[in-house]
Amino acid sequence: MKKNILIVGGSSGVGKILAEHYVAEGHTVCISGRKNPKLAGARFQPLSVSDQSSDLARDIDHLVRQFPTVNTLIYAAGYLQRGYIDDLDDRALQTMVNVGLLAPMMLIQRLKASTSTPLKIMLITSSSQHTPRALEPAYCATKSGLGMLGASLVRDNNIGKVLVVAPSGIDTPFWAGTDEDTSTMLDADWVAEQIVKLSSGAFKYKYAKLLRAPARSEIVECMDNNFQPI
């Protein structure tokens, strides 16, 4: 069955690769983000998340109006933020919360109400979801919260399948301009391939880690519609 797929954070990296995959399969794809990736066969609607929550609500409402009847949401948005908690000002903290938590919650809230079928959700987090890091307090908190959001949403019978995937460092433009060593990071194409594989089949909720050295997929939890382990 062909789907209407909204990919938030699809301007580059894994989000863009997933967009390419689903366009090639014949699905209707809308990419949302700060920059237009100019992907043939996909629509683009800008969404730039800042520290202003009122602007976010307005922009998300506009996005949902422009691309109605979404039945699959892929949330892949994120950005690098480092510093001890007292190095981060209020604006930095608010922006991270908006990007990492408030935006996906608002989107799911609105999309669930507008779709005629149970909304399928794919949340791409990070190893920061389960690994605390001193210089990533807000980033770790939002990624952990995003993972718990997925685990909670699945308890809603009117929500469809929920997939949470936590990759462990991906070699993408995400790291451009930093001194991060990307030589051992996961290949972005491989990560996208794993996400597609993990999303297939019958399940209600699945949480998986994508680990490196060696690159491998580890399913942490998988449940059926009766919340029984698969």
Range of the domain at 206: 4-223
Residue 212 in tokens: 């490196």
Per residue in 84-103, pLDDT (tens digit) is 999 999 999 999 999 999 99
DSSP single-letter state for residue 99: I
Measure the CA–CA gap between 26 and 21, rounded to whole angstroms: 9
Residue 191 lies in a domain: yes
- Mean of the per-residue pLDDT values of the chain: 93
Residue 230 lies in a domain: no
Per residue in 160-172, pLDDT (tens digit) is 999 999 999 888 7
For residue 19, what pLDDT is reported? Answer: 96
E strands, the chain, where?
4-8, 28-33, 42-46, 72-75, 119-124, 159-167, 170-171, 186-187, 205-211, 216-223
SS3 102: helix
**pLDDT at 174 exceeding the cut of 80:** no
131's CB contacts (< 8 A; 6+ apart) are: 140
* pLDDT above 70: percentage of residues in the chain: 100
Measure the CA–CA gap between 47 and 104, rounded to whole angstroms: 12
**pLDDT at 15 exceeding the cut of 90:** yes
For residue 179, what pLDDT is reported? Answer: 76
Residue 50 lies in a domain: yes
The mean pLDDT value for 8-23 works out to 94
> Looking at residue 177, which CATH number applies to its domain?
3.40.50.720
Residue 229 lies in a domain: no
Are 18 and 9 in contact, with CB atoms under 8 Å apart?
no
Q: What are phi and psi of 123, to 5 degrees?
A: -110, 120
- Domain count across the chain: 1
